[in-house]
Structure 1
Amino acid sequence: MFVLRAGATLLLTLLALATHAQSAADSVAARKPAKKPRRVKVAALPIVFSQPETGLAYGAAVLPVWRFGQDTTTRSSNARVLAYRTQRKQSSASLTHAIFTPGERYFISGEAQYFNLPIYYYGVGNDTRKSEKSDISYRVFILNQRVLKRLRPGLFVGGVYRLTNLYRIRVDDPLTDDATRPNWLLERPERERQPTLTSGLGPALLYDTRDNILSAHHGNFLDATALLMAKGLGSDFSFTRLQFDARHYRVLGSKEAEHTVLAGQLLGTFHGGTVPFRELAQLGGERMMRGIYEGRFRDRQLLAAQVELRQQLFWRLRGVLFGSAGQVQPQVTDFRPGQFNLAGGAGLRIDVNRQDRLSIRIDYGVGSGQSSGLYFAFNEAF
């Protein structure tokens, strides 16, 4: 109940902020009608949210959106600076960016993130039990960067580099939550409980015809990467990661109004070699399989899909319904049609910047394994 009350308080606060921002913008426009639109629009917001991975959290976010040059065929670029602390003594700071250079000749995207995280670790597998969660904690710094060059409209190729520095790994309780077995992390190789650096690079291909990268109404998206984590690059573990992310968006009903959008996503992650527990493919979280705790199900290989129906309601409010299915397995040949975990729910969107489709996302989901979650985030899940 406390989480729901906090969510209601946050919603009212955000509605007030959005109203104030819009009225201020309208007032400025009325006084200075001849002034050119700003090339950089910045939303700075205090944030309060709650989700299964964090409990109640508080912090601040800065969300700039801009377009290089006057060519409107170049899609808007965006970034996000976010910092928060939670009631579970977690802390995080991150910078993410997605940049189209003039004429979309290059696409540069990536993230730099720091987490100080006590988390629930359920071990490895597709059918872990809720009562057997283990308490562990660690600190991690993640750097992920890609630079892609356009070959033709919508098609980009280039390279990606990823670094993960995991340290201060700790078993907070020697037993699982139901006290029936040792903490799951104690069953992993001892080397994985020591400070770990993974470093890798590889090729990347992107096909992206979305009309807007924050909240697409129509278009297609295909992102494929291959990463080699190698000791020659400073990595403590050697393994490969192949990943694809395919999405489709279409307008239902009136093409002019674009009030109803159907979105779908198919995601695959496949590993070879020796993969430490933190780098295994994971189901759950605020983007894929909402309603399932992030990392509740993890293993070497992953397949997941989700669909979402997005509907304009009134004023700055939009509603969504979503559903997803996903599975993790040790080998690709182990995937079975009847073993998919399921999740689904509903959500609300509050448009902060309607022109660039910058929004605040509130979702509630339920999922397999007696899971549920309330999520506060920025922009669409996919």
Structure 2
Amino acid sequence: MKNKYRILLIVALLCAASAKAQDPPSSQAAKDSLSQQMDAIDVLKKIFPPKKTDTVKKASALAILPAIGYNPSTGFLLGINFLKSFHTDPSAKLSVAQLDGSYTSKNLIIVRFRTNIFTKDNKWNFQGNWQYLRNYVNDYGIGGDARRDPPVNYPTRFNYFRLMEKAYRNLGNNFYAGGGISFDLRNHINAEPADSTLYSPNNAYSFEKGFNSERYFVNGLILNFQYNTREHPNRSFGGIYTDLVFRYNTKLLGSSKESGQLYTELRKYISLSKTNPEHVLAFWYWGSYILWGEMPYLELPYTEYDTYNRSGRGYTLGRFRGPSFADAEVEYRFPISKRTKFLSGVLFSNFQTVSDGNNNQFLKYIEPAAGAGLRVLFNKKSRTNICLDYARGKYGSSGFFFSLNEAF
């Protein structure tokens, strides 16, 4: 590995290993009198008062949100999100399950089911990520090719199937370790228009590295290490989350080629006020690095490659791509409606870097973006926000990004 690559890995590992947890806000401040807060469900109840019945129903933490929005990666989107926040046991941390399905003006079909579940006494943490996408990306090439101005775009469609399950065992003091398995299939890959397919980055890279340009598997075993002191999984006011994942993609599980990867993630939340903990500075570092072997083109890490496809706001899905990729983000979150917490806002910036096709020039170029966003409190019990962001990057790149829950 290059010296810069080694330095980045050392820094990421030291941050994950040595960072101290931010003391979470006091329970009184963190709860912040839920009875005074107003969310979208309260607004709907005022507009459409529920009928009085004799049946007492248990309050549900299920958020159901029609997904109506737009971002430059998907076009106009129509769908529905289900977000369930729950405790498997009174001694367990809050668990989250999210199911969403949508269809877009670019003929995308998106179905995803993602879970983060804690068992009694937080003994185990199970994380799942199941996806089917009839996907579409504007492919700008690998490494430095994406920096061309004006950009050269190769619209590419493909089917994507993912089945990932990871299990973490609690080792004490908020440390977890475990393993998992992941199956990733991309097929029916084609670039548009048809007369550019022969020269598309996917085809050129696949020919050079010995992959089938229309279909490939990346199936592997996972080894996980995690440290987690966040006081809430949806919108934390304090704490740290770090995750190190080693992945071995092997032909024994049907992978097209052998390869090794390292994923690193670090999140840090700092509440700036004890009496108003929604004032938060949030930091996020996400990186993926190839350690050995070869990866197929569309499986190389890229903008929005993280679990919830939220990194790199200001650029489209897959804008920057390479064997090694990193994204660093900082966000200031603040309340607008100080008493009801119904409206809040964010200011953010992010910085991406990527290696070229031969895994060189990592950290040589930094691609920045910045933006602002509005938040509407959808469910105060689960701290679920409706998020609308606008961000601008370089090379004339910009866009609106609509979602449920924070980017990180």
TM-score range, shorter chain: 0.7 to 0.9
Equivalence for 2:154: 134
Partner of 2:314: 291
| Separation of aligned partners in 1, 2:352 and 2:130 | 27
Q: Which moved more, 1:19-28 or 1:109-118?
A: 19-28
CA 1:223 to 1:59, structure 2 compared with 1: closer, same or farther past 3 Å?
A: same
Q: Which residue of 1 aligns with 2:17?
A: none
| Code of the aligned partner of 2:383 | R
Within 5 Å, give how 1:148-227 maps onto structure 2. 148-174=168-194, 182-190=199-207, 191-227=211-247
Separation of aligned partners in 1, 2:363 and 2:67: 41
Deviation, structure 1 residue 194: 2.5
**8 Å CA contact retained: 1:350, 1:360:** yes
Partners of 1:106 and 1:17 lie apart in 2 by 33
Deviation at 1:21, TM superposition (A): 4.8
Aligned pair partner of 2:343 in 310, 313, 317:
317
Is residue 2:248 matched to residue 1:228? yes
The unaligned stretches of length 5 or more in structure 1 are: 1-14
| Equivalent residue letter for 2:78 | Y
1:306 maps to which residue?
A: 329
Trace 1:1-382 onto structure 2 (pairs within 5 A). Answer: 17-21=40-44, 23=46, 38=59, 40-71=60-91, 74-128=92-146, 129=148, 130-174=150-194, 182-190=199-207, 191-252=211-272, 254-271=273-290, 272-284=292-304, 287-314=310-337, 315=340, 316-330=342-356, 334-336=361-363, 339-382=365-408
Aligned equivalents of 1:107, 1:100: Cα separation in 2: 5
Shift of 1:358: 1.3
- Normalized against structure 2, the TM-score is what? 0.81
Identity of counterpart residues, as a percentage? 26
The one-letter amino acid of 1:115's match is L
Higher fraction of strand: 1
Q: Could you say if the C-alpha distance between residues 197 and 143 of structure 1 is closer, same or farther in structure 2, counting changes exceeding 3 Å? A: same
- Taking structure 1 as reference, are residues 113 and 43 closer, same or farther at Cα in structure 2, changes over 3 Å only? same
Specify the code of the residue in structure 2 equivalent to 1:334: Q
| Residue 202 of structure 1: how far off its partner (Å) | 2.1
CA contact (8 A) 1:126 1:298 kept: no
The amino acid of 1:69's aligned partner reads: D
Between the aligned partners of 1:278 and 1:209, the Cα distance in structure 2 is 34
Partner SS for 1:334: coil
What's the TM-score, normalizing by structure 1?
0.87
SS of 1:79 mapped into structure 2 = strand
> SS in structure 2 opposite 1:298?
coil
Counterparts of 2:252 and 2:346, CA distance in 1: 46
Q: Is the 1:284–1:297 contact (alpha carbons within 8 Å) kept by the matching residues of 2? A: no
Query: d(CA) in 1 for partners of 2:48 and 2:239?
Result: 30
Distance of 1:63 and 1:279 partners within structure 2: 28
Q: CA deviation at 1:210?
A: 0.4
Looking at structure 2, the residues matched to 26 and 63 of structure 1 have their Cα atoms a distance apart, in angstroms, of 23
After superposition, give the CA deviation of every residue in 1:282-307 in whole Å (9 maximum; x if it has no partner).
12575211011111110011122110
CA distance in 1, matches of 2:237, 2:323: 33
**Whole-Å separation in 2 of the counterparts to 1:87 and 1:362:** 19
Q: Is the 8 A contact 2:61 2:382 kept in 1?
A: no
Distance 2:325 2:195 in 1: 28
Whole-angstrom CA distance in 1 between matches of 2:219 and 2:45: 44
1:19 to partner: Cα distance: 3.7
**Contact 2:40–2:377 at 8 Å: present in 1 too?**
no
Going from structure 1 to structure 2, the CA distance change for 1:21 and 1:66 (only over 3 Å counts) comes to farther
Aligned residue pairs total 358
5+ unaligned residues in a row in structure 2: which ranges?
1-37
Q: How far did 1:114 drift?
A: 0.5
